[in-house]
Chains A and B, each alone.
Chain A
Amino acid sequence: MSDRTPDRVALLALPALVYMVIVFAIPVMVLIGRSFFGPSGLSVTPYIDFLSDGFNWRVIFNTLRTAALTTLVCLVIGYPTALALSWSKGFVQAIMLVAIILPLSVGVIVKAFAWQIVLRRDGIVASLLMATGVWDEPKLLLFTETGLVLGAANIFLPFMILPIYSVLKLIDPSLQHAAATLGAPPVYRFFRLSLPLAASGIISGCSIVFSLATSMYVIPSLLIGDRYQTLPTLTARAFLLMRNERLGSTTATILLFLTIAIVMLTAWLVRRREVQT
């Protein structure tokens, strides 16, 4: 009887499985299929064409660079926030959680327009930097990579904070005390205790944000425009504007595999380091 229990429990995941197969797995297979099957049968010509163009390599580089920077900004801002969230209690924690989750209900387009107001040359950020003397004259933030990264990080921040928080809140606070009583200074505790313990949360947060950031389309369209092409904007244009499904499938497939490869490789490297130390 007990042998069958796991099977029954697995059945609970069936609706999700069916749903994902229909709306995700099958379309992705079709997409990948289309990139390999042209009018003249199976071929990798679209890949060769795409990858033999230097400009497209720059597009791939842009995509990964922006995603990596966005992930980094999210991590730097998100980790302390998650820490504060895990330390806070009761009402303060509830307010913090609402403040983190509620912005998810604001549409990306609204946020992009808000960023336009915040980042423009007479906007809040520039005024602040001028007032504090960091800047002598207003500099361009909008429609630059910096603006794009800041905007994207703002939108994806909850996806970094929440996984890290969910791990941090499970860590026994007396471990920090124990480390301190062993003579370990704060910086040492951070790198040898806090970070390794939070590693699984950080890996998932980074994977989610990186995946979202490599595949974002609306955000770069609004915050940087078509002068900074990424794989998703190229893909969208291939489908929507040029009606070239094969090109679009090719770029989408390249994006998919690059993202999966980088996320898995990073997770593997971190885990391996963790085991060694």
Chain B
Amino acid sequence: MPDLSGYWLGAVMENSRPLSLDRRNFVVGATALASALAAPSILRAQTRELVVGAASSQKSWSEEIMIPAFEKKHNVKVIFEGTRSLVNLEKMQKNKDKQYLSVVQMDDPVMITAVAEGLLDPITTARVPNAALLKPNLTHMDGMWVNYLQPWVGIAYNTAKVTTPPGSWAEVFDQKFKSRVILPSLQNTEGVLALFIASYLKTGKPMSEAQKDIDSAFAKLVEMKPNVLMSYTQEAQAYNLLEQGEAYLVAGAISSVAMARKSRGAPVELAAPKEGTFSMPSGIALVKGGPQPELAAAYIDMLISAELQSKISAATFALPVNKTVAAPAGLENLIIHPVDWANVSKNRASWVARWDRELSL
């Protein structure tokens, strides 16, 4: 059994693209890293700036909605260093004595590592008043990080091939979808969530319990094997197959990804199953010892405010984290079950190994 260092945790938990280091991300990440290792403070100190160690997958709404609003209100320049969770963690580790990041966006499992290494400051209602309005289960480890959005995992389907939206996860196992279903690989985070759903369907236990019963999860997935066309690590490939009609369903589709394809005119729709679902990890935290601590707190406060949450959730079809904000139309009744990420981190490697064996061709 390989040891579970923080390194690989970070890599494993990356949002949906665990192995792809596309060029843009790489360049952004590399440049950021290079400037970080040079003398960041000299370069940064001249103007009022706030550096956000961000998730590159969240770039579009950040730059279109969040950052302009924040810059206007506080008269500050926000530097959006979009990269992967692991790189953000490394930036904080390397600059522990003189942080230049003020705010950091990382996947929840990486947050656990950052907390353990003492890199984060707690988010308190005193510093971030809107934190009081967060829905339950979205404040983690006594406020060390919070979730800023709830992108959820549903069933994406080809509207030309599937006329009745699948209302239940159980439909994914229906014979009529023989070799027409795409699952996320367990190497992808949404694959873990699909595993939990399988367990729920097998056992009928509540989702919070079901995610501890991985034996049942695999038993259910093995039953499903005839339906599985492939399991993807590259989401572009999965959606290509779905849009071409070779696949009818992607079970375990991330809302933001599916909706982005739909908005570009692809014959794709996302169904929210009645049993409820899980949300993708999406944490934000204050960097301990980072510059501009007040601005950093204000950034998070604005992000989870009712005004921004309603705009962003409408734009991304994700659920808002602020309980005063209504869910986007059609998602009013969607239940999001909490995920025990610590449990995931502990067992992920063995699950991946087991996936290879039990789902192999």
Interface residues of A (CB under 8 A from B): 55, 58, 113, 116-117, 120-122, 140, 142-145, 221-222, 224-229, 236-238, 240-244, 247
Contacts and interface: CB of A to CB of B under 8 A. Distances in A.
Contacts of A116: 237, 240-241, 244, 246
Interface string B12-43: 10000011000000000000000000000000
B234 interface: yes
Q: Considering the complex of A and B, which 9 residue pairs feature the smallest CB-CB distances, nearest first?
A: A120-B246, A243-B8, A244-B2, A143-B230, A225-B230, A243-B7, A226-B185, A228-B361, A227-B361
B231 A247 contact: no
Contact of B5 (A55, A228, A237, A243): A243
B108 to A, nearest CB: 18
B245 A122 contact: yes
A242 B8 contact: yes
Contact of A225 (B185, B244, B246): B185
Contacts of A221: 233-234
Contacts of B245: 120, 122
B215 interface: no
B232, B241, B352, B360, most chain A CB atoms within 10 A = B360
Interface in B152-205: 179, 185-187
Contacts of A228: 360-361
B233 A225 contact: yes
A121 B161 CA distance: 14
Contacts of B230: 142-143, 224-225, 227
Nearest to B2: A244
Contacts, number: 84
A173 B201 CA distance: 69
A55 B357 contact: yes
A222 B237 contact: yes
A227 B360 contact: yes
B128 interface: no
B89 interface: no
Contacts of B8: 241-244
A55 B353 CA distance: 10
A241 B19 contact: yes
B233 A226 contact: yes
B229 interface: yes
Contacts of A122: 245-246
Given A145-B361, A226-B185, A244-B8, A117 B2 contact: no
Interface in B229-263: 229-234, 237, 240-241, 244-246
Interface residues of B, number: 34
B361 A241 contact: no
A122 B180 CA distance: 13
Given A55-B357, A240-B19, A226 B244 contact: no
Contacts of B18: 240-241
Contacts of A121: 246
A84 B44 CA distance: 66
Given A121-B246, A143-B230, A240-B11, A247 B361 contact: no
A55 B231 contact: no
A240 B21 CA distance: 11
Contacts of B357: 55
B360 A237 contact: no
A122, A143, A221, most chain B CB atoms within 10 A = A143
A61 B270 CA distance: 40
Contacts of A224: 230, 361
Contacts of B361: 143-145, 224, 227-228
A18 to B, nearest CB: 28
A182 B48 CA distance: 93
B356 A229 contact: yes
B246 A222 contact: no
Contacts of B103: none
Nearest to A55: B357
